[in-house]
């Protein structure tokens, strides 16, 4: 299949990288470009937490310490998204898989549904991440993120908030979780030729342009 600009592609894309590497930002742009559904596992978990159930309180504590939510809960959500795809539909998932067990689950589920997948990996050094954490605000209604000290969401007209897990100590814990669990999963995808490594330190536009170029090369090259 030849991928050109604004092509609808029935692929599953996963976007990974350290906290604040730009996964949500780029996933949104990619979803627009290729007419893909977009799911953020982090947003889904934060919405669960708002329900204030016993399980939600447990998740809240985990997130505020920078840990990972149990695989069984996350995998069930991902399975539902993948199984609900029509033949011609594609999907981009932001923030999954975050460990080897979730990576193996992805291989199994995509095999069962006959869908191909590719992992986009945003490579960003820690110094950039800490700076982005101090600037980020988000809208609790539409989940959009902002980076330049904006105060009001231009879409919902509500006050933007800071994420509790963007505190320096929690960010350090998220980074150590990432190194311990997510890096081994990335190595597995690299070994299986499923990884597209992108320099995530340029501007949002530069990173997006690089993703599009490399993505088209990779998909067209494999067809």
Residues that bind ligand AP5 (CB under 6 A): 17, 19-25, 41-42, 45, 62-63, 66-69, 74, 95-96, 98, 102, 132, 135-136, 145-147, 174, 203-204, 207
Smallest distance from the beta carbon of 87 to ligand AP5, in angstroms?
Answer: 26
Smallest distance from the beta carbon of 223 to ligand AP5, in angstroms?
Answer: 29
Query: What is the β-pairing status of strands 137-138 and 145-146?
Result: antiparallel
Q: Of Mg ion, ligand AP5, none, which one sits near residue 115, judging by CB under 5 to 8 A according to partner kind? A: none
- Give the H/E segment covering residue 13: strand 12-16
Q: Of ligand AP5, Mg ion, none, which one sits near residue 90, judging by CB under 5 to 8 A according to partner kind? A: none
Which residue's Cβ has the minimum distance to Mg ion?
24
Residue corresponding to tokens 């170029």: 213
Q: Which of residues 17-36 bind Mg ion (CB under 5 A)?
A: 24
CA-based nearest residue to 40, from 98, 87, 88: 98
Q: Of ligand AP5, Mg ion, none, which one sits near residue 75, judging by CB under 5 to 8 A according to partner kind? A: none
- Determine whether 135 is exposed, middle or buried from the number of CB atoms within 10 Å of its CB (0-12, 13-18, 19+): middle
**C-alpha to C-alpha distance for 2 and 97, rounded to whole angstroms:** 27
**C-alpha to C-alpha distance for 77 and 61, rounded to whole angstroms:** 20
Give the number of residues in contact with Mg ion, rule: CB under 5 A: 1
- Determine whether 185 is exposed, middle or buried from the number of CB atoms within 10 Å of its CB (0-12, 13-18, 19+): buried
Residues counted in the chain: 223
Which residue's Cβ has the minimum distance to ligand AP5?
42
Q: Of ligand AP5, Mg ion, none, which one sits near residue 63, judging by CB under 5 to 8 A according to partner kind? A: ligand AP5
Smallest distance from the beta carbon of 168 to ligand AP5, in angstroms?
Answer: 13
Nearer to Mg ion, 3 or 39 (CB): 39
**C-alpha to C-alpha distance for 95 and 176, rounded to whole angstroms:** 16
Nearer to Mg ion, 177 or 219 (CB): 177
Smallest distance from the beta carbon of 143 to Mg ion, in angstroms?
Answer: 9
Nearer to ligand AP5, 26 or 220 (CB): 26
Smallest distance from the beta carbon of 221 to ligand AP5, in angstroms?
Answer: 26
Largest alpha-carbon pair distance within the chain?
A: 49
């Amino acid at each position: 299949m030849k991928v050109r600009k604004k092509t609808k592609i029935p692929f599953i894309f996963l976007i990974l990288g350290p906290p604040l590497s730009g996964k949500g930002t780029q996933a949104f742009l990619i979803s627009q470009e290729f007419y893909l559904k977009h799911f953020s596992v982090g947003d889904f978990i934060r919405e669960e937490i708002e329900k204030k159930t016993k399980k939600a309180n447990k998740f809240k504590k985990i997130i505020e310490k920078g840990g990972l939510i149990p695989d069984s809960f996350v995998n069930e959500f991902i399975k539902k998204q993948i199984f609900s795809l029509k033949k011609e539909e594609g999907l981009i998932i932001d923030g999954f898989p975050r460990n080897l067990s979730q990576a193996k689950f992805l291989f199994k589920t995509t095999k069962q549904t006959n869908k191909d997948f590719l992992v986009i990996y945003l490579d960003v050094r820690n110094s950039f991440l800490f700076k982005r954490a101090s600037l980020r605000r988000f809208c609790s209604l539409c989940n959009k993120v902002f980076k330049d000290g904006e105060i009001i969401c231009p879409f919902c007209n509500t006050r933007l908030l800071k994420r509790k897990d963007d505190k320096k100590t929690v960010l350090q814990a998220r980074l150590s979780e990432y190194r311990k669990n997510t890096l081994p999963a990335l190595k597995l995808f690299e070994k299986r030729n499923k990884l597209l490594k992108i320099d995530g330190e340029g501007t949002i536009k530069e990173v997006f342009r690089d993703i599009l170029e490399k993505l088209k090369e990779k998909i067209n090259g494999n067809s």
